[in-house]
Structure 1
């Protein structure tokens, strides 16, 4: 894949520790759109994805934390449908 092509990725995470979860949220926020409390939608180049994955991998505790990457084709990404619910607000106190 050429680096200028962007992958459509949904990233979800389950991290029980508040401090680590907040750090993960901040990292993901710099790469994509926060759509639910532990879910981001991202459009990443190959280089951006590699850097994001590396940063997250260094931060997590594999025995207790989980981060999942769901790759979507452009057609599927464009067909994402949302019903109800408010858009998340970035209230850092929620994650502290």
Structure 2
């Protein structure tokens, strides 16, 4: 699996008719989808090229959530673990022009 080369800073936007929780969820989704594909409604598959990129992403995500109300889980996987991924089914992943899966 090739890392996705996107370490873009997080951005935030809100609308007067959108609740803070919905806005935070959308902002988190926007940041994560810029780093990798959404594989389920609240699950993203993100491969980062370095520990520094991981630190930047964690920092950006922390700024977007309320730590008393929200939770983001990050499961680090080693290269041997990545080589053992099994995918069942043929559902297509969300596709974006700014990343690729090899």
TM-score normalised by the shorter chain: which range applies?
0.5 to 0.7
Q: TM-score, normalised by structure 1?
A: 0.68
1:85 CA displacement: 6.2
Which of 21, 43, 49 is the matching residue for 2:47? 43
Unaligned 5+ segments in structure 2 are 4-19, 96-102
Q: Would you identify which runs of 4 or more consecutive aligned residues in structure 1 move more than 3 Å?
A: 87-90
Q: TM-score, normalised by structure 2?
A: 0.64
Structure number with larger C-alpha Rg: 2
Question: More displaced, 33-42 or 50-59?
Answer: 33-42
Deviations 1:39-89 (A, max 9, x none): 111111112111110011011001110001101111111211122362354
1:1-96 equivalences under 5 Å are 17-44=21-48, 45-84=50-89, 86-89=91-94
Q: More strand per residue: 1 or 2? A: 1
Q: More helix per residue: 1 or 2? A: 1
Unaligned 5+ segments in structure 1 are 1-5, 7-15, 91-96
In structure 2, the residue matched to 1:94 is none
> Aligned partners of 1:39, 1:85: CA distance in 2, in Å?
17
